[in-house]
Amino acid sequence: MPLDDPNIRAAIDGPELPRMSFGDHLEELRSRLVKALLAVVVAVLAVMPWKEQVQGIVINPYRVQWRVGFVDYVAGLEAKEAAATAGAPLDADSARFLEYCRQHQDAILAGTKEYSHLFPVQTGYHVPYSLYAIGGIEDIMSFMWASILFAIVLASPVVVWQAWAFIAAGLYPKERAIFYRYFPFMAALLAAGVAFGYFVVLPYTLGFLVRWMNPDQVGAMFSVGQFLSLEFALTGALGLVFQLPLVMVALQKIGLVTHRGFRKNWRMTILCIFVFAAVLTPPEPVSMLLMSAPMVLLYGLGLLLTWFARGKDAAVAPA
Q: Which backbone phi and psi does 223 adopt, to 5 degrees?
A: -80, 140
Residue 170 pLDDT greater than 80, yes or no: no
Q: What percent of the chain has pLDDT over 90?
A: 14
For 202-233, how does the pLDDT look when each residue is reduced to its tens digit (9 = 90+)?
Answer: 888 888 888 888 877 887 888 888 888 888 88
How would you class 318 by CB atoms within 10 Å of its CB: exposed for 0-12, middle for 13-18, buried for 19 or more? exposed
The closest of 316, 273, 266, 265 to 294, measured between CA atoms, is 273
| Angle formed by the axes of helices 266-280 and 285-308, nearest 10° | 140
Helix, strand, or coil here: 19? Answer: coil
pTM of the model: 0.78
For 79-133, how does the pLDDT look when each residue is reduced to its tens digit (9 = 90+)?
Answer: 888 887 766 677 888 889 999 999 999 999 988 888 888 898 899 998 899 888 8
pLDDT for position 67: 92
pLDDT for position 21: 66
pLDDT category, 254, cuts 50, 70, 90?
confident
pLDDT category, 314, cuts 50, 70, 90?
very low
pLDDT for position 2: 47
Residue 307 pLDDT greater than 60, yes or no: yes
Query: What rounded mean pLDDT belongs to the chain?
Result: 82
Q: Is pLDDT larger for residue 277 or for residue 39? A: 39
The domain spans of the chain are 60-123, 173-319
Residue 10 pLDDT greater than 50, yes or no: no
